[in-house]
Amino acid sequence: MSAPYPVIASLVEGHGEERALQGLLHRLVPHLVPGAYAEIQRPFRVPRDRMFRRDVLDSALTIVTTRMPAPTGIVVLLDADDDCAVQLAQCVRSHAEATHAHLPVVVVAAVREFEAWFLAGAAGLAGKAGLPEDLAPPAEPESIRGAKEWLSRRMPRGSTYQETAHQPSFATLFDLDTARAAAPSFDKFCRDVRFLLTGKREG
C-alpha cells in the first residue's frame, strides 16, 4: 500500500552524506513547499566509483525501492570533484532510467563537493562549531577545490573540519536561501526535491 504522502529514498557516496542528507531533506521539505510533509528514509551508501556501474546502481535502487513504505521518489547525490557535474548526473540518471524508469529518480552532482554548499550558505554557520561570528561566504563557492580545508582554516587553532562529525550538524544550519543563490548545483538539488514533492517542474 502506498503512503498518502511523498516518501523519499536516497543514495549517497560518502559516510558524511549518509548521516547529513536525511537532516537536510527534513529542512528542505517545508522550506520548499510550505506545509508539506514527506517521509525521508535513511540514505543508502554506494561508493562513488561503484555508482557508475549499472549493475551496482541497479542493485542499490532495488534495495531502497523494496523498503516500506514504498518510496515515491529517489534522490541520488554524489560529488563531482574535478569532473563535469552535468555529465556525471546524466550518466547515473541514464543507468537508473534503464532499470527503474517506473519511479522518479533525480540525480545531483554537487559541483566540487557537498561542502561547497556550506560555503555558499556560510552565514548560517557563523558562530557555530568555533567558526567566527562574521563568517562570510567566498565569492564563488563552487569554484573552490578544498571546501573542507576552507572551513578548517576558519576554525580555532587545533580544530579541523571532520566530515562525519560536522557534516550532519552543518547540514541543519547553513543558510538555504543564500546557498541556493550562490551554488547552482544546490539550486538544482532544491528544484529536484521540489519535483519529488509536487510532481511539477519549476518553470
- What pTM does this model have? 0.95
**Inter-residue contact 41 to 47 (CB < 8 Å):** no
pLDDT in tens, 52-100: 999 999 999 999 999 999 999 999 999 999 999 999 999 999 999 999 9
For the chain, give every domain's residue range. Answer: 7-198
- Confidence at residue 203, expressed as pLDDT on a 0 to 100 scale: 63
pLDDT in tens, 180-194: 999 999 999 999 999
- Confidence at residue 202, expressed as pLDDT on a 0 to 100 scale: 77
- C-alpha–C-alpha distance, residues 115 and 155, integer Å: 15
Minimal CA–CA distance to 151: which of 134, 166, 168?
Answer: 166
DSSP labels, 67-133: SSSPPSEEEEEEE-BTS-HHHHHHHHHHHHHHHHTTS-EEEEEESB-THHHHHHTGGGGTTSTT--T
